[in-house]
DNA sequence: GGGTTAACCTAACACTGTTCGGTTAATCGG
DNA sequence: CCGATTAACCGAACAGTGTTAGGTTAACCC
């Protein structure tokens, strides 16, 4: 195919298609060839619009992080922490398959740093030392990312035989997958509330 | 090479060499060919001792998880939670490069379930409902895995220019890498203490 | 001592991300 | 309107991945 009259590709189209594949097939389900095929194009053509696959993932990650809202600190620092954490988790759990990639180096992304900066400043304004503010922000990230990895309830089997007998206290763990979403949410809320209350 | 007089390979030797490579070169730095080369062997020979690379990683993960100690619940459930979380984190941070793999489905591993079962039982014995016990255990795992991903302080740049001006409250973030280990540890302890106190 | 098995090998398959060189259409300058 | 440049795509290739099939030979058992 020669140069088409109207371009088939654009960074935006590539990003949104890639994210759709990740949502559907998982992080490992995204390959440049599959992405290209879904766009009606050969793999090599993508590299005219995207520097590298890693960069593509970083751009997608940034666009997800840019939806995080940290504007709740004018009321109360506790309330600000809670709102920030909820917003962060909502952003991550809207595209859970990309979280493992995101969990590597969120601190280095501009979209993440901007929000971290606000959070840090608000905590210092509330009377915490700089070091304490850093640690509190870190702790909040632990809970957000730990819960967003959703490695917990969704990691259980739905087969009762996997638990009964061998794990006396987990005899109803096979019910977890059915309520995974709700339970993960409630566990996150509990952890968040306990953390903020305990500060 | 024909069949050697004394076998060159054993599951144990394969596992420990693989873990050494992961510790040295990261999770992506482990390939079956490199592992084989390090063992003085061709890649195909590994498959006589190991079913698949994923299974190999799972075995390594299980051996790491088996070092987690959950024996502190006879004193007090709060103290038990804290000791369990510390032991868990110590196990993970002794081989940080494998944590991303571990974070996917720790709930499904036998070594993990055994410990989760004890934790769950201890919380129920302490008076928590089954559902509360599940959520508390989940919350503890959030903090443990969130901190073990160490995506926080080690993700910062050591170059002051990356922060000054752009992020008013992060003007000393370039110092973080130098104290990453200590800060990650203290942040974990703070998050853990706040969480347990807030319950 | 012969048959079986275990442990290794070579070669290959189907994939991966990425690059190089080529082809053609759109676009811009005069 | 024509010529040069550039933008957008493609085909083929490279080095790497996990994994399998089939072959070779030494160790082991009866």
- B16 alpha carbon, distance to own chain's centre: 16
Least confident of A36-50, A70-84, A102-116, B10-24: A102-116
Distance CA B71, CA B165 (A): 50
Distance CA A13, CA A18 (A): 8
Distance CA A196, CA A83 (A): 11
Confidence (pLDDT) at B3: 64
Residues B190, B145 within the same domain? yes
Residues B74, B146 within the same domain? yes
* B61 in a structural domain: no
User: Binning pLDDT at 50, 70 and 90, where does residue B177 land?
Assistant: confident
- A28 alpha carbon, distance to own chain's centre: 16
Residue A106 has pLDDT above 60, yes or no: no
Q: Please report, rounded to a whole number, the percentage of residues in chain B having pLDDT higher than 90.
A: 68
User: Binning pLDDT at 50, 70 and 90, where does residue B107 land?
Assistant: low
Residues B124, B42 within the same domain? no
Across the range A7-22, mean pLDDT stands at: 93
Given the structure tokens 């000054």, which residue do they identify?
A: B164
Residue B50 has pLDDT above 80, yes or no: yes
Residues B77, B130 within the same domain? yes
The CATH number covering residue B156 comes to 1.10.357.10
Q: Tell me: the pLDDT tens digits for B2-36?
A: 667 677 789 999 999 999 999 999 999 999 999 99
Residues A46, A73 within the same domain? no
Confidence (pLDDT) at A96: 92
Residues B82, B128 within the same domain? yes
Least confident of A68-82, A182-196, B162-176: B162-176
Q: Do A153 and B107 touch (CB under 8 A)?
A: yes
Q: Do B139 and A191 touch (CB under 8 A)?
A: yes
Distance CA B96, CA B124 (A): 32
Distance CA A95, CA A97 (A): 6
User: Binning pLDDT at 50, 70 and 90, where does residue A175 land?
Assistant: confident
Across the range A153-160, mean pLDDT stands at: 78
User: Binning pLDDT at 50, 70 and 90, where does residue A153 land?
Assistant: low
Residues B32, B79 within the same domain? no
Which of A155, A169, A198 shows the shortest C-beta gap to B195?
A: A198
Integer CA distances (angstroms), A86 to A93, B83, B84, in order? 10, 28, 27
Residues B142, B74 within the same domain? yes
Residues with Cβ < 8 Å from B1, sequence gap 6 or more? Answer: none
Q: Closest Cα partner for B177 from A145, A148, A105?
A: A105
Residue A197 has pLDDT above 80, yes or no: yes
Check if A41 contacts B (Cβ < 8 Å): no
A66 burial type by CB count under 10 A (0-12 exposed, 13-18 middle, 19+ buried): middle
Residue B39 has pLDDT above 90, yes or no: yes
Residue A199 has pLDDT above 70, yes or no: yes
* A61 in a structural domain: no
Instruction: Give me B164's structure tokens.
Output: 């000054």
Residue B106 has pLDDT above 60, yes or no: no
Q: Are B183 and A135 in contact (CB under 8 A)?
A: yes
Nucleotide nearest to A45 (CA to C1'): D9
Check if A127 contacts B (Cβ < 8 Å): no
SS3 string of chain B? CCCCCCCCCCHHHHHHHHHHHHHHHCCCCCCHHHHHHHCCCCHHHHHHCCCCHHHHHHHHHHHHHCCCCCCCCCCCHHHHHHHHHHHHHHHHHCCHHHHHHHCCCHHHCHHHHHHHHHHHHHHHHCCCCHHHHHHHHHHHHHHHHHHHCCCCHHHCCCCHHHCCCCCHHHCCHHHHHHHHHHHHHHHHHHHHHHHHHHC
Q: What angle do CA A31, A35, A36 make, to 5 degrees?
A: 115
Residues B161, B122 within the same domain? yes
Residue A166 has pLDDT above 70, yes or no: yes
Residues B92, B142 within the same domain? yes
Confidence (pLDDT) at A1: 60
Distance CA B16, CA B21 (A): 9
| Structural element, H or E, at residue A115 | helix A110-125
Please tell me the total number of residues recorded for chain A in this structure: 199
Which of B141, B184, B190 shows the shortest C-beta gap to A146?
A: B141
* A88 in a structural domain: yes
Confidence (pLDDT) at A33: 98
Confidence (pLDDT) at A178: 78
Distance CA B103, CA B98 (A): 9
Across the range A183-195, mean pLDDT stands at: 96
Q: What angle do CA A106, B174, B165 make, to 5 degrees?
A: 90
Residue A134 has pLDDT above 90, yes or no: yes
Residue B188 has pLDDT above 90, yes or no: yes
The CATH number covering residue A33 comes to 1.10.10.60
Which protein residue has its CA closest to C1' of D23?
A: B2
Q: How many structural domains are present in chain B?
A: 2
In chain B, which residue's Cα lies nearest the Cα of A97? B104
What residue numbers bound the domain in which B108 lies? 69-198
Q: Tell me: the pLDDT tens digits for B70-89?
A: 988 888 999 999 999 999 99
* Residues engaging strand D (CB under 7 angstroms): A 1-4, 7-9, 36, 40-45, 48-49; B 2-5, 30-34, 43-44, 47, 52-54
Residues A86, A46 within the same domain? no
Residues A92, A130 within the same domain? yes
How many Cα neighbours within 13 Å face the side chain of B168?
Answer: 6
Q: Do B124 and A169 touch (CB under 8 A)?
A: yes
Q: Which residue did the predictor score with more confidence, A75 or A108? A: A75
Across the range B98-118, mean pLDDT stands at: 83
Q: Do B135 and A196 touch (CB under 8 A)?
A: no
* B63 in a structural domain: no
* A55 in a structural domain: no
B94 burial type by CB count under 10 A (0-12 exposed, 13-18 middle, 19+ buried): exposed
Q: How far is B12 from chain A (nearest CA, A)?
A: 26
Is B50 (CB) below 7 Å from strand C?
A: no
Is A136 (CB) below 7 Å from strand C?
A: no
* A173 in a structural domain: yes
* B4 in a structural domain: no
- Give contacts of A 139-178 with B, CB under 8 A: 139, 141-147, 149, 151-153, 155-157, 163, 166-170, 172, 176
Check if A36 contacts B (Cβ < 8 Å): no
Instruction: Give me A120's structure tokens.
Output: 């840090």
* A160 in a structural domain: yes
DSSP 8-state assignment for residue A157: -
Residue B174 has pLDDT above 90, yes or no: no
Residues with Cβ < 8 Å from A79, sequence gap 6 or more? Answer: A72, A73
């Amino acid at each position: 195919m020669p140069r088409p009259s109207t371009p088939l590709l654009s960074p935006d189209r590539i990003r949104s298609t890639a994210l759709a594949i990740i949502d559907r097939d998982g992080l490992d389900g995204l390959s440049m060839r599959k992405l290209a095929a879904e766009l009606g194009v050969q793999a090599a053509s993508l590299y005219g619009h995207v520097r590298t696959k890693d960069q593509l993932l970083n751009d997608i990650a940034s666009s997800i992080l840019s939806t995080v809202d940290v504007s709740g600190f004018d009321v109360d620092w506790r309330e600000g922490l809670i709102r920030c954490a909820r917003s962060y988790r909502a952003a991550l759990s809207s595209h859970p398959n990309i979280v493992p990639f995101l969990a590597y180096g969120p601190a280095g992304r501009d979209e993440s740093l901007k929000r971290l900066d606000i959070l840090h400043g608000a905590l210092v304004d509330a009377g915490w030392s700089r070091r304490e503010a850093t640690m509190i922000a870190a702790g909040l990230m632990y809970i957000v990312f730990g819960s967003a990895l959703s490695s917990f309830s969704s990691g259980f089997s739905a087969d009762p035989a996997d638990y009964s007998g061998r794990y006396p206290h987990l005899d109803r763990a096979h019910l977890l997958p059915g309520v995974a979403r709700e339970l993960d949410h409630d566990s996150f809320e509990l952890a968040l509330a306990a953390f903020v209350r305990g500060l």
